[in-house]
Structure 1
Amino acid sequence: MAIQVICDLSLPNLTADIINNGVAKGNTDYIWQVGAKMMGLALLGLVAAVGNVYFASTQAQKMGMRLRSKIFKHTMALGNKEFDDLGASSLITRTTNDVLQIQNVIIMMLRMMIQAPLMLIGAGIMAYQSEKQLTWVFLVAIPLLVIAIGGIMGSAVPLFQKLQKQIDKINLVFREGLTGVRVIRAFRQDQFEQARFEVANKDYTQTAIKVFSIVSIMMPIMTIIMNGTNLGIVWFGANLIGEMNMQVGDLVSFMTYAAMLLFSFMMLSMIFVFLPRAQAAAVRIIEVLDTKNKVQEKADAQVAKPDVVASLEFDHIDFRYEGAEEKALEDVDVKLTAGQTLAIIGGTGSGKSSLIALIPRLYDVEAGAVRVDGQDVRDLTKVSLQDKVSYVQQKAVLFKGTIRSNLAFGKADATDEEMWRALEIAQAKDFVADLPDGLDAVVEQGGDNFSGGQKQRLAIARALIKPASIYVFDDSFSALDFKTDAALRKALKADRDISQSVVVIVAQRVSTVTNADQIIVLDDGKVAGVGTHQELLADNEVYQEIVHSQMKEGEV
């Protein structure tokens, strides 16, 4: 950039030299000589400019790449609470549009922010050396520019900040429309969703039109001021030439330096107009990077002990969500060892999912302790704890790729034999075998090319392929028919490896939990009873109500 500026600042002086000493005196050789020098400087300036654009662009893109990677990596390390607070749509906007705003300003800064001050100072010095008597023109032009730019920035900056939030809203509505398209069609809410999107889109468009209209005023104002400046220079310069106090070449040179000076000032002003938008984007990105997962490892966290007898213990635990007045769970106390199955049943909102979320330490208990294989989960490193637990969530999530690539999430080096074994236990072997490509069958985004029951069985197989001490199924049999449900639970009991682990099943259906070694009955976050099916059926009112709501007297 320094080389480019030096070359640009040298050319007007050489132009003046050609006019004063070549054209005025009719010296053709001199014109060719100085012209060749100008050509050389112009070419050198061109090479320097190309180099500057190349390096500015590559550095801005690399910074964008690093930012996106850092945001994604940090987001993956956030807890459920922090992720919910930020919101998926907002995180997408921050990773894409906000990073793009910063990239654009980085390019502008590496080019204009360096070039403009150098050019401004250099052109001012050269103009003063060229003709001192005309420099007073800048005392009029520059204050006018400052007033115009200040007014435009004052109006545009708040609107740019508002614009970023409105992009979030468009993203939110559009994302909900895409993910919920089947529900929207089923309830014939197409018009309602289109109206929602139209409102968000219109708000963004109106703000964008307003802010860019304000910014676009800058160019006409700059043009008027620059042309007015040139008019003043020509007017007063012509008088000086007429009085023989100035040469024509010097006037041309001064006009060129004046244009450079004012154009540099305009470039700086453009940066200061777009900088607030990038600043708003940077604040939003920093907000993500500064958000810390409240579930932190201890400084002296231990690695979970390998090759120990599997066990799971809830030791008189209490749990409360952040900011909640009431406890979500209170005094849950149960212990299981290898080969046993724990079932958790209760009404909606009774705390079933909250309880099992404590096992892989998605949240921390308020009182008591959760122990995996005899160790408090808070004393373990997160990686070693999560290696011990295999978790199937309520919503079956599959990733775009193949059945093989999805199963490899559970165990990266799994053999085909291990994959077919997991599919067989999950009651998915038959339908996968019937697919033309088998394990290499394509899985669309979200697994949309499979039914709900098929997605659930593939998600279960992915969890089963992972060697773990504890297998957790969070209402993940809900899309299965009774026959498949029973066959799956029977296969879990029969498998040699899984029988060495603890199995935790959250369920709504009584038929799913009847054969469990221990059943926890939750009612409004409190333990209403713990025992086997027969024990609870004999003396637990809450469990009896659940059973009788699902079965007839003879079936019970």
Structure 2
Amino acid sequence: MLKLAKRMSFWAVAGAILFMIVQVVSDLYLPTLTSDIINNGVAKGDVDYIWSVGLKMLGFSLISIAAATGNVFLAARQSQKLGKTLRSEVYKKVTNFTNDEFDEMGTSSLITRTTNDVVQVQNVVMMFLRMMIMAPIMLIGASFLAYSKDGELTKIFLYVLPILAVFMGVIMYFAVPLFKSMQKKTDKLNLVFREGLTGIRVIRAFNRSKSEAVRFDEANKDFTDTSIKVNTIMSFMLPVMTFVMSATNIAIIWYGGHYIADGTLEVGNLIAFMTYAMQILMSFMMLSMVFVFIPRGQASAVRINEVLNMESKINDPKVITKMPAENRGTLDFNHVDFRYEGAERLALKDIDFHGRNGQTVAIIGGTGSGKSSLSNLIPRFYDVESGSIEINGIDIRQMSQHELRDAVGFVPQKAMLFTGTIRENIQYGKKDATDEEIWHALEIAQSKEFVEELPDGLDSYVEQGGGNFSGGQKQRLCIARALIKKADIFVFDDSFSALDFKTDAALRKALKPETKEAVVVIVAQRISTVVDADLILVLDEGELVGMGTHEELKETNATYQEIISSQLREEEI
């Protein structure tokens, strides 16, 4: 919590504390003024004195209200600003995560940490700047003033406070672990809910709606049961406090009445003492509440710090090598080995090839052969275990990630569009792209025709994930987004799979003259997609088992021949 709290403004926190001190001092002074009115005004029938002290009470009440308003304003402002800062920092940190780090944290958990956990920290900060400051000051001040009114009556607290402490301790003992577990159960609930939403088509296709509903109900029931349990435990706090306060009042009135009868205590002092007693007990309860909620906030703070403190495995070098101005558009894999985090065997072994500008390098192989793994190494989504990857003659580990990814136009295996318009999605590749450039990119990507048919053209709305477009349309828009970048390396990770053969061929034909000064890397499943490539890499279980043109591999490579025979008839071959 302290690490996160350092992000708050010192002067704002100091102002909130100052306002709270003024409020507490004003509140503590009011019972003394009440005592004076009763003892010196009401008892003696001095109306002028009553008006004089009454106006003073009104003044201190207004000061208390103004101070409370100032404290709440600063406390709320600081807690909300801290929440804003934390959400921004977590989001920025997450955007720089490697794929391994995403897998380690989990999307649902990251969402919970950015929302629910940040809210818990905000609540604790708000509570700290209000209750945590108010309670000890009021507890000490009220105890001292109560003792000044009557030292004998304060002995009541020697019995009351230990009893209250035991009750609060028992409540905290059972409630705190449940508060902590609720964060993990929130993660689980978000996970199941998110999977149900993103996989709704698959769930419906396999008639699994009922089983998914049961799965969600189980997670929801687990979360609900824990919430009910913890709130049931917390519900004992109010009746316990009411009972203790009532018992304390009875004891004060009982013994105070005897003292008044003996003439050792004035009525006004008894009323002031009762008010201070309530302030003492309320302060004690506030402290107990703080100690109940702080562990929950601390658990959330730990989860947020886990994200912020996570060491990224892929970082920019201390000395960054700049891209050359000339001789750009080269890609070299030099005996590259790669394995996923925690894996026993290599995902890619001794991959060695070289691509030059104007060339198309195609990668083909069976499922799980390492095609996507190889393509993900180019923009450095993962780092190689040994060997090196060079773009424009420079090891990608020696250049900044920003410059590297600026030089790579990447189309992922899963087409991903963002909420907005078609124009905004295409400009994701180039911020200042003109409409003319956008239409040209759409034309190369074979998207121009269907975009022109839309009522709003480039201003047509794109739903979340591109849900209002077909799979082929989404892929072509993603390709256009990459092409508008004018990169040195274009990577198409199985990006033509949703296209029919005619569109596939037309797109590759239109692509050729536009990428004369770049290396085009195409990951594909279909022979028809790679047949015209200048260099075809054949992968099998992470190893490069063939390399050459279509004609060369067709004659000499057994794996490539198997792929051909599985996709084409003998007369087509």
TM-score by length of 2: 0.96
The correspondence for 2:380, drawn from 347, 358, 361, is 361
Determine whether 1:316 maps to 2:309.
Answer: no
Shift of residue 29 of structure 1? Answer: 1.4
Indicate the SS of the match to 1:253.
helix
User: Matched residues in 2 for 1:144 and 1:394: separation?
Assistant: 65
User: Matched residues in 2 for 1:547 and 1:323: separation?
Assistant: 35
Q: Provide the residue aligned with 2:492 in structure 1.
A: 473
Q: Any conservation in 2 of the 1:478–1:507 contact (CA below 8 Å)?
A: yes
Determine whether 1:532 maps to 2:549.
Answer: yes
User: Matched residues in 1 for 2:386 and 2:285: separation?
Assistant: 63
User: Which sections of structure 2, spanning at least 5 residues, go unmatched?
Assistant: 1-19
Shift of residue 308 of structure 1? Answer: 2.9
CA RMSD of aligned residues (A): 0.8
The correspondence for 2:186, drawn from 167, 175, 179, is 167
Determine whether 1:115 maps to 2:134.
Answer: yes
Q: Any conservation in 2 of the 1:423–1:429 contact (CA below 8 Å)?
A: yes
Q: Provide the residue aligned with 1:228 in structure 2.
A: 247
User: Matched residues in 1 for 2:486 and 2:105: separation?
Assistant: 33
User: Matched residues in 2 for 1:400 and 1:139: separation?
Assistant: 64
User: Matched residues in 1 for 2:380 and 2:471: separation?
Assistant: 28
Q: Provide the residue aligned with 1:555 in structure 2.
A: 572
User: Matched residues in 2 for 1:320 and 1:178: separation?
Assistant: 32
User: Matched residues in 1 for 2:57 and 2:385: separation?
Assistant: 77
Q: Provide the residue aligned with 1:143 in structure 2.
A: 162
Determine whether 1:188 maps to 2:212.
Answer: no
Give aligned pairs, total.
554
Determine whether 1:519 maps to 2:536.
Answer: yes
Q: How does 1:181-330 map to 2 (within 5 A)?
A: 181-330=200-349
Indicate the SS of the match to 1:314.
strand
User: Matched residues in 1 for 2:308 and 2:569: separation?
Assistant: 55
Determine whether 1:391 maps to 2:410.
Answer: yes
Equivalent residue letter for 1:487: A
TM-score by length of 1: 0.99
User: Matched residues in 1 for 2:536 and 2:189: separation?
Assistant: 46
Shift of residue 149 of structure 1? Answer: 1.1
Q: Provide the residue aligned with 2:520 in structure 1.
A: 503
Q: Any conservation in 2 of the 1:304–1:381 contact (CA below 8 Å)?
A: no
Equivalent residue letter for 2:546: G
Q: Any conservation in 2 of the 1:78–1:292 contact (CA below 8 Å)?
A: no
User: Matched residues in 2 for 1:467 and 1:160: separation?
Assistant: 52
Q: Any conservation in 2 of the 1:160–1:277 contact (CA below 8 Å)?
A: yes
Equivalent residue letter for 2:416: V
Q: How does 1:85-96 map to 2 (within 5 A)?
A: 85-96=104-115
Q: Provide the residue aligned with 1:59 in structure 2.
A: 78
User: Matched residues in 2 for 1:126 and 1:139: separation?
Assistant: 16
User: Matched residues in 2 for 1:41 and 1:279: separation?
Assistant: 37
Determine whether 1:462 maps to 2:457.
Answer: no
Larger deviation, residues 216-225 vs 334-343: 216-225
Equivalent residue letter for 1:74: K
User: Matched residues in 2 for 1:325 and 1:84: separation?
Assistant: 17
Indicate the SS of the match to 1:395.
coil
Shift of residue 306 of structure 1? Answer: 3.2
Larger deviation, residues 299-308 vs 454-463: 299-308
Q: CA offsets, 1:384-422, max 9 Å, x none?
A: 111111100000000000000000110000011110110
User: Matched residues in 1 for 2:336 and 2:202: separation?
Assistant: 39
Indicate the SS of the match to 1:153.
helix
User: Matched residues in 2 for 1:439 and 1:67: separation?
Assistant: 36
Determine whether 1:427 maps to 2:446.
Answer: yes
Determine whether 1:408 maps to 2:427.
Answer: yes
Equivalent residue letter for 1:510: I
Identity of aligned residues (%): 59
User: Matched residues in 1 for 2:353 and 2:250: separation?
Assistant: 90
Shift of residue 153 of structure 1? Answer: 0.8
Equivalent residue letter for 1:386: R
Indicate the SS of the match to 2:354.
strand
User: Matched residues in 1 for 2:29 and 2:324: separation?
Assistant: 73
Q: Any conservation in 2 of the 1:469–1:500 contact (CA below 8 Å)?
A: yes
User: Matched residues in 2 for 1:209 and 1:279: separation?
Assistant: 21
Shift of residue 218 of structure 1? Answer: 1.1
Q: Any conservation in 2 of the 1:315–1:369 contact (CA below 8 Å)?
A: yes
User: Matched residues in 2 for 1:406 and 1:30: separation?
Assistant: 76
Shift of residue 316 of structure 1? Answer: 1.0
Determine whether 1:68 maps to 2:87.
Answer: yes
Shift of residue 309 of structure 1? Answer: 2.7
